[in-house]
């Protein structure tokens, strides 16, 4: 790795070591946590946040689709479908963190199909119903994540699809698909991520399955930068809102 790359990683690791503040507004906490690492965010998360490309592929964006990303951060996910931006009807990127949204605006570069919104994922609503809504490693950072899921369901047109990729903890007796974790790992990862405001649990996937018609679930493990030999569980979920697609 180049010296510039190492310095970039050091800036991110310093922010992670400081952690997410516990005082002040949610927007203020996020700005103070992500501000110093905003320019280095994408490079480091490329190795940490697995399954993002696969989730977008499984979400099956169609020409003419209206798409929303909640907790969009730097807008990195745009790169997964930049070649299809022109044929989509609209893409709305929603996030509560100004420093990351500044990166997203730079990335969108005034593209007429892309809207960038500073707003809470639990409340923001589009002008017209969406065909696809997704969250990439955002729900685990939203304290009232069930409100964000309910809000996403309200945004979707009947038959519309939701995609989620995020960290998780296996249920104590294993998941319906047989995904299991040892007792130590089930306690280690939630404790480890809590410092950075990332909440790991098994209820997130459970609530998605309760709230939508499940199309696909994958439960996997990801490597972590600088922690050789350790793997953290994550899931990929695709769900459908009941009703006939228009
Ligand atoms: C781990 S980052 C993921 C960013 C991006 N989706 C990605 O894959 O790189 C979590 C994001 O959730 C955002 N976030 C946290 N709480 C939020 C809320 N209540 N409303 C909107 N975004 C929120 C953070 O600002 C951050 O950008």
* 88 close to ligand 1 (CB < 6 Angstrom): no
Over residues 133-152, mean pLDDT: 98
CA–centroid distance, 60 to ligand 1, in Å, is 22
Helix (DSSP H) and strand (DSSP E) numbers for the chain: 8, 7
Judged against a pLDDT cut of 70, whether residue 246 lies above it is answered with no
Cα 236 → chain centroid: 11
Return the domain boundaries, the chain: 49-240
45 ligand 1 Cβ < 6 A: yes
pLDDT over 90 at 45, yes or no: no
pLDDT classification of 4: cutoffs 50, 70, 90: confident
- 0.75 exceeded by pTM: yes
158-197: buried (b, 16+ CB within 10 Å) or exposed (e) per residue? eebbbbbbbbbbbbeeebeeebebeeebbebbbeebeeeb
Average pLDDT, the chain: 93
Nearest CA to ligand 1 atom 19: 120
Which residue's CA lies nearest to atom 16 of ligand 1?
142
- CA 53 to chain centroid: 12
SS3 26: helix
pLDDT in tens, 64-91: 999 999 999 999 999 999 999 999 999 9
Please report the pLDDT score of residue 27 as a whole number.
96
Sign of the C-alpha dihedral, residues 68, 74, 80, 83?
Answer: positive
Adjacency order of strands within the sheet including 231-240: 114-118, 90-95, 66-70, 130-136, 156-167, 231-240, 213-223
- Name the burial class of residue 109, with classes exposed (0-12), middle (13-18) and buried (19+) by CB atoms within 10 angstroms of its CB: exposed
Using CA atoms in the order 219, 232, 27, 81, what is the torsion angle rounded to 10 degrees?
-50
CB 124 within 8 Å of CB 99: no
138 contact partners, CB below 8 Å, separation of at least 6: 70, 71, 72, 73, 121, 148, 166
CATH number for 49-240 (one of 3.40.50.150, 3.40.50.450, 1.10.1040.10, 2.60.120.10): it is 3.40.50.150
Q: How far is the CA of 104 from the centre of ligand 1 (A)?
A: 12
Tokens representing 12?
Answer: 């991110």
pLDDT class of 3 with cuts at 50, 70, 90: confident
The arithmetic mean of pLDDT across residues 132-150, rounded, is 98
Instruction: Tell how far CA 226 is from the center of its chain.
Output: 22
Alpha carbon distance 201, 47 (integer Å):
22
What is the rounded CA–CA span in Å between residue 41 and residue 54? 20
| Distance of CA 98 from the midpoint of ligand 1 (Å) | 11
Q: What is the mean pLDDT of residues 166-176?
A: 93
Question: Is residue 107 in contact with ligand 1, taking CB distance under 6 Å?
Answer: no
Cβ of 166 less than 6 Å from ligand 1: no
Helices 98-108 and 26-34, axial angle in degrees (round to 10): 70
Q: Which residue spans within 44-112 are E strands per DSSP?
A: 66-70, 90-95
- Cα(77)–Cα(178) distance, integer angstroms: 30
Segment 188-245, tens digit of pLDDT: 999 989 988 899 999 999 999 999 999 999 999 998 888 888 889 999 999 999 987 7
pLDDT at position 43 is: 86
């Amino acid at each position: 790795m180049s010296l510039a790359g190492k310095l970039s990683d050091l800036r991110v690791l310093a922010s992670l070591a400081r952690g997410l503040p516990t005082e002040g507004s949610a927007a203020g906490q996020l700005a103070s946590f992500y501000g110093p690492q905003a320019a280095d965010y994408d490079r480091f998360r490329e190795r940490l946040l697995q399954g993002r490309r696969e989730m977008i592929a499984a979400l099956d964006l169609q020409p003419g689709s209206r798409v929303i990303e909640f907790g969009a951060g730097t807008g990195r996910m745009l790169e997964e479908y930049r070649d299809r931006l022109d044929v989509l009807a609209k893409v709305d990127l929603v996030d509560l963190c100004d420093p990351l949204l500044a990166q997203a605006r730079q990335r969108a570069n005034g593209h007429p199909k892309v809207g960038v919104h500073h707003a809470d994922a639990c409340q923001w609503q589009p002008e017209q119903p969406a065909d696809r809504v997704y969250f990439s490693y955002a729900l685990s950072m939203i304290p009232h994540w069930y409100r964000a899921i309910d809000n996403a369901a309200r945004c979707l047109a009947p038959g519309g699809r939701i995609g989620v990729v995020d960290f998780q903890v296996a249920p104590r007796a294993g998941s319906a698909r047989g995904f299991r974790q040892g007792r130590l790992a089930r306690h280690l990862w939630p404790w480890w991520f809590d410092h950075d405001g990332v909440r790991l649990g098994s209820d997130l996937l459970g609530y998605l399955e309760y709230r939508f018609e499940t199309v696909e679930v994958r439960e996997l493990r990801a490597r972590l930068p600088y922690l050789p030999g350790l793997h953290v569980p994550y899931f990929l979920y695709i769900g459908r809102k009941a009703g006939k697609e228009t």
